[in-house]
Structure 1
Amino acid sequence: MAEQGNAEAQLRLGICFVAKGDYDSAIKWLKPLAEQGNTEAQLWLGLCFFSKDDCDSAIKLLKPFAEQGNVEVQIELGRCFLGKCDYGNAIKWLKPLAEQGNADAQLLLGVCFIEKGDYDSAIKLLKPLAEQGNTVAQFALGKCFFEKCDYDNAIKWLKPFAEQGNVAAQNWLKQCLIHSKRK
């Protein structure tokens, strides 16, 4: 039915390709529908572009949905801006959600603050998540403490990952140990 031009079938087929991770095929089916004004196709197409690291195209398509209050899209939009190092816009989209207790937004906003060099704000956001067992927050918190030259806390958060064989954590931990001996 999709081959015969049935818009609903084309949309469903495009969504199936998204679910399979075949974004090129998904774009083939979703883009014509999106260009005709199909808002559901526009949303899925924006998510495809995001998954393909085409943040400019994703932002263009996703922003109207974010402006309508779609929380998941607001988070993805914040992630897009973070990926583009546009911290002002990332904060604009993530901060209200983080203040409402959204853990994904808190994590991304914490990473944004690390990238900006605002380690105290990052710690304030990441530490509660890390204490609740969020492993990404734990790793980010360890890196944040390293940047603040608080090597004892950095070691505390990085050591479990290093012991599990995480190469990045092992490298950060090695740097912590080197720097802590210089103190």
Structure 2
Amino acid sequence: MSIIKPSRYRRPKGCYFGFVVLLVVICRALSASAGSLGDGRDALARGDYESAIQIWTPLAEQGNRIAQTALGAMYNNGFGTPKNPATAAKWFRKAAEQGEAASQTELGLLYSEGLGVPQNYDEANKLFRLSANQGNATAQYNLAVAYLKGHGVAINEKTALSWARKAADQGKIEGQTLVGSMYQMGKGVPQDYGSAANWFRRAAAQGDAFGQLMLGLMFAAGQGVPQDYVSAHMWTNLAAASGNERAAEMREKVARQMSQSQIAEAQRLARDWRPKSEH
């Protein structure tokens, strides 16, 4: 008999690239660049953010969309300059108008949150769609959230699932856990615990604490996977190690159903486990 039922947790409403991820995108674009663009990349790599801004600003003013995106990221996150969403929006807009998907996504998120620009879900979704149609996984995920929450569009769970699946197929962790949650709850798709577990497993394998928690809960409950307390303990233990308090609670509940040898095996599996990125 199952002792734990998987809970219906959700992630935050939207998903930003995050400073580190966005700058990885920028650095990839700059990887073959020489001259000033490359100099700015090098300054960024050594943590000299003020010099990076000084190098990229004249290039951005000349219309270079990569430099504009880079400046938007710096101002949006307060690296090398005071945090200024309005200035970030200015630079993201200039790059977005040139078709830069990363800037379209970030500007869309500023509109969605009302940071540096008036909140406007219609404008946000327009920008997300432009970026998503270029294959940007973060934009695809945020369109999914918009359709789930009814932000600027009518709620449509099937459309939300379609966009979330596009992001998830690219390895987007938030997309994978959202798809898993939708299969688990039967939103936009017939309820399917096996598919839910598979999507949570993909996120968990990349080191995502939420995915690890949900997969652990499914092993504990025997939903979509055979009931397996060793696996349940392992995954909730990994999630707890990332600071997830709910996972720590569930690990202790699972441990009460286990022998000492089973706990030792679960702990060994957790120690030996390593994340595997899909990117």
Identify whether the pair has TM-score above 0.5, normalized to the shorter chain.
Answer: yes
1:6, distance to aligned residue in structure 2 (A): 4.6
1:8, distance to aligned residue in structure 2 (A): 1.2
Name which one, 1 or 2, has greater alpha-carbon Rg.
Answer: 2
Structure 2 unaligned regions, length at least 5: 1-56, 78-82, 114-119, 149-156, 259-279
Give the structure 1 partner of residue 171 of structure 2.
103
Give the structure 2 partner of residue 27 of structure 1.
89
- The 8 Å contact of residues 200 and 215 in structure 2, kept in 1 or not, is answered as yes
Whole-Å separation in 2 of the counterparts to 1:134 and 1:6:
39
Give the structure 2 partner of residue 89 of structure 1.
159
1:38, distance to aligned residue in structure 2 (A): 1.9
Q: Which has the higher contact order (CA 8 A, sep 6+)?
A: 2
Find out whether 1:78 has 2:140 as its counterpart: yes
Deviates more, 1:10-19 or 1:58-67: 10-19
The structure-2 alpha-carbon separation of the partners of 1:78 and 1:160, relative to structure 1 and needing over 3 Å to count, comes to same
1:172, distance to aligned residue in structure 2 (A): 3.1
Q: Which of 105, 114, 135 matches 2:207? A: 135
Deviates more, 1:133-142 or 1:79-88: 79-88
Over the aligned positions, Cα root-mean-square deviation in angstroms equals: 4.2
The structure-2 alpha-carbon separation of the partners of 1:119 and 1:53, relative to structure 1 and needing over 3 Å to count, comes to farther
Identity among equivalent positions (%) equals 18
Give the structure 1 partner of residue 11 of structure 2.
none
* Residue identity opposite 2:105 in structure 1: G
- The 8 Å contact of residues 216 and 235 in structure 2, kept in 1 or not, is answered as yes
Q: How many residues align?
A: 168
- The 8 Å contact of residues 46 and 59 in structure 1, kept in 2 or not, is answered as no
Superposition pairs for residues 38-49 of structure 1, below 5 Å? Answer: 38-40=97-99, 44-49=103-108
Structure 1 unaligned regions, length at least 5: none
- The 8 Å contact of residues 91 and 112 in structure 1, kept in 2 or not, is answered as yes
Give the structure 2 partner of residue 122 of structure 1.
196
Whole-Å separation in 2 of the counterparts to 1:77 and 1:156:
33
The structure-2 alpha-carbon separation of the partners of 1:106 and 1:177, relative to structure 1 and needing over 3 Å to count, comes to same
Whole-Å separation in 2 of the counterparts to 1:48 and 1:144:
37
